[in-house]
Amino acid sequence: MLNNVLLPAMKEVGDKFGAGELILPFVLQSAETMKKAVAQLETYLEKAEGSTKGTVVLATVYGDVHDIGKNLVNTILTNNGYTVHDLGKQVPISRIIDKAVEVNATAIGLSALLVSTSKQMPLAVKELHHQGIAIPVMIGGAAINPAYAHRALFVEPDTSYEPGVFYAKDAFEGLSIMDRIVVSEERAALLETTLERARKTLNKPTRDSFLNAADPSDTKRSETRILDEVPTPPFWGVREMTDFTLDDIWPHMDMKTLFRLHWGGKGVKGEEWEALLQNEFYPRLKRMQESAKENGWLQPRVRYGYFPCNSENNDLIIYDPEDQDREIERMTYPRQPARERLCLADYFLPVGSGKKDVVQLQVVTMGSVATEQTDRLQAAGDYSESYFTHGLSVSAAEGLAELVHQRSREMLGIGEDAGKRYSWGYPSCPDLEHHVIVNRLLDMESIGVEVTQGYQFNPEQTTAAIVIHHPDAKYFALLRTGGTPDAIQEPVAAADD
């Protein structure tokens, strides 16, 4: 029953997903059914009877709290015949390796959200190599791509990690990699093609080489206008914004991103899309918004502030709101090496102007309850409900960031489209390390947000931003030439979080 009916059925579900005939939430509902059916069968099955295709130790890396991706991989592998040991999030490399050795893992699976935390992956491969442990490693996550895995494969410039390092763009690619790893001829072929491609990648420029394309000694200001007047903030310093409800957030949510990206409706067209909206997404959204209000699993909080500031070369100098000539923080931004040679600092009045400018900083979160709700549903096998819940909580966080930005424009008395909001980790301000400075300025702990070792925010449905009032502000990338380096450079989302 398992091998001739259920597993082939799940394979068919995977194929339909791959062909764009079935969206992720419905794949997850199939996995829920599979889980219940297998639970029935297991009462008759002796575990030893080879009822597993292989063992995978799965983890979200140290410093990273993003687990929806990992959970999807766990769900797809578990319900396609693999035994998964899911170690959770923020997992140190030593614990992952110890578990993999203990359970004689067929493979290790690592997940991360950000470039900063993804750096744990090549470190883990080096440690495995160093300890002489030969277990294939699969990696995935929003901020990496195949080239990243190619680099992680080479533990020394001319030494590759023998069992292989494999990038998977989604859970089903992870499944097909596993299905090849467990068949020795297939595994050898996979390793060979991966090595071949990796050797080619080694000669390509890395992300860092692009970021470092921005020459820090190039500090000559761009042609960006120096404003005569700057807005007066409603107050100097930091406050918690409290005069809003979830009902105020919903209108600021980007429905297209929610339905297409966070709820997996990408690629559905025409009548089928209309039907999905009318029969599924709209009624579900209404139901979940009501449930969030009644059961309190979305707890939005905001810290924001206005600081006197000036630019100096590529630096944004932030002064003490109480003593406006006293410098308290300084953030250096990369300058485009070509084209308009833009740099975020240029949007502020230079020190020499003799006047202080104003910068707004904000951090918004949906709180840890959203994550607990998502984890509870995942643990109970309600995979699709967990996915929808994570999606709505993420979209609400983005909506809240937009609400705060809109309110700030009103308070500054500038047009509703004036200025721009930038989040660290995106091209025009790539340094996630700045989150530590922003935390000092905004005291994020006071609304339950911490910055992890990987410069990520915990709870995960949190975003921070620098808001620039300059009417000419625009989003820009540092890239000099085309071609994709080995990690995200161009913004995926239309605008910064």
Nearest-approach distance from CB 434 to ligand B12, in angstroms: 8
Q: Which of 210, 426, 444, 467 binds ligand B12 (CB under 6 A)?
A: 426
- 3-class DSSP state of 383: helix
Q: How many separate helices (H) and strands (E) can be counted in the chain? A: 17, 16
**Residue 436 touches ligand B12, criterion: CB under 6 A:** no
Q: Point out which span in 8-16, 150-158, 321-329, 424-432 binds ligand B12 (CB under 6 A).
A: 424-432
**Residue 360 touches ligand B12, criterion: CB under 6 A:** no
**Residue 73 touches ligand B12, criterion: CB under 6 A:** yes
Residue type, 416: E
How far apart (Å, rounded) are the C-alpha atoms in residues 442 and 305?
A: 7
Q: Token pair for residue 494? A: 């239309």
**Residue 493 touches ligand B12, criterion: CB under 6 A:** yes
How far apart (Å, rounded) are the C-alpha atoms in residues 496 and 465?
A: 8
CB of 142 or CB of 238, closer to ligand B12: 142
CB 427 within 8 A of CB 491: yes
Nearest-approach distance from CB 493 to ligand B12, in angstroms: 5
**Residue 113 touches ligand B12, criterion: CB under 6 A:** yes
How far apart (Å, rounded) are the C-alpha atoms in residues 195 and 216?
A: 35
Nearest-approach distance from CB 221 to ligand B12, in angstroms: 25
Q: Point out which span in 67-75, 155-163, 294-302, 439-447 binds ligand B12 (CB under 6 A).
A: 67-75
Q: Considering only residues 161 through 200, tell me which ones interact with ligand B12, judged by CB under 6 A.
A: 168, 170-171, 174
**Residue 460 touches ligand B12, criterion: CB under 6 A:** yes
Q: Considering only residues 202 through 231, tell me which ones interact with ligand B12, judged by CB under 6 A.
A: none
Number of other residues whose CB lies within 10 A of the CB of residue 350: 17
Q: Point out which span in 42-50, 367-375, 453-461, 478-486 binds ligand B12 (CB under 6 A).
A: 453-461
Q: Among the residues of 182-259, which ranges form H helices?
A: 184-202, 207-211, 246-249, 255-257
CB 67 within 8 A of CB 88: yes
**Residue 369 touches ligand B12, criterion: CB under 6 A:** no
**Helices 7-18 and 24-42, interaxial angle, to 10°?**
170
Backbone angles phi, psi at 212, to 5 degrees: -75, -5
**Distances from the Cα of 76 to the Cα of 2, 35, 118, 225, 394, angstroms:** 15, 10, 22, 53, 22
CB of 311 or CB of 462, closer to ligand B12: 462
Query: Which among 425, 476, 483, 486 has a CA at the least distance from the CA of 208?
Result: 486
Q: Which of 315, 402, 486, 497 binds ligand B12 (CB under 6 A)?
A: 497
Environment class of residue 96 by beta-carbon count within 10 Å: exposed (0-12), middle (13-18) or buried (19+)?
buried
Cα-Cα-Cα-Cα torsion 331, 332, 333, 334, nearest 10 degrees, comes to -160
**Residue 70 touches ligand B12, criterion: CB under 6 A:** yes
Nearest-approach distance from CB 488 to ligand B12, in angstroms: 5
Nearest-approach distance from CB 220 to ligand B12, in angstroms: 27
How far apart (Å, rounded) are the C-alpha atoms in residues 203 and 201?
A: 5
Q: Which of 246, 409, 463, 470 binds ligand B12 (CB under 6 A)?
A: 463
Q: Which of 31, 57, 72, 377 binds ligand B12 (CB under 6 A)?
A: 72
By DSSP bridging, strand 107-112 and strand 457-458 are unpaired
Q: Residue holding tokens 């059914």? A: 33
CB of 189 or CB of 493, closer to ligand B12: 493
Residues binding ligand B12: what is the number (CB under 6 A)?
Answer: 41
**Helices 368-379 and 68-78, interaxial angle, to 10°?**
0
Q: Which of 292, 425, 442, 466 binds ligand B12 (CB under 6 A)?
A: 425
CB of 486 or CB of 497, closer to ligand B12: 497
Nearest-approach distance from CB 44 to ligand B12, in angstroms: 31
How far apart (Å, rounded) are the C-alpha atoms in residues 333 and 350?
A: 14
Mask for 389-408, x = binds ligand B12 (CB under 6 A):
-----x--xx----------
**Residue 488 touches ligand B12, criterion: CB under 6 A:** yes
**Residue 152 touches ligand B12, criterion: CB under 6 A:** no
Write out the residues near ligand B12 by the rule CB under 6 A. Answer: 66, 68-70, 72-73, 109-111, 113-115, 138, 140-143, 168, 170-171, 174, 394, 397-398, 423-426, 432, 456-457, 460-464, 488, 491-493, 497
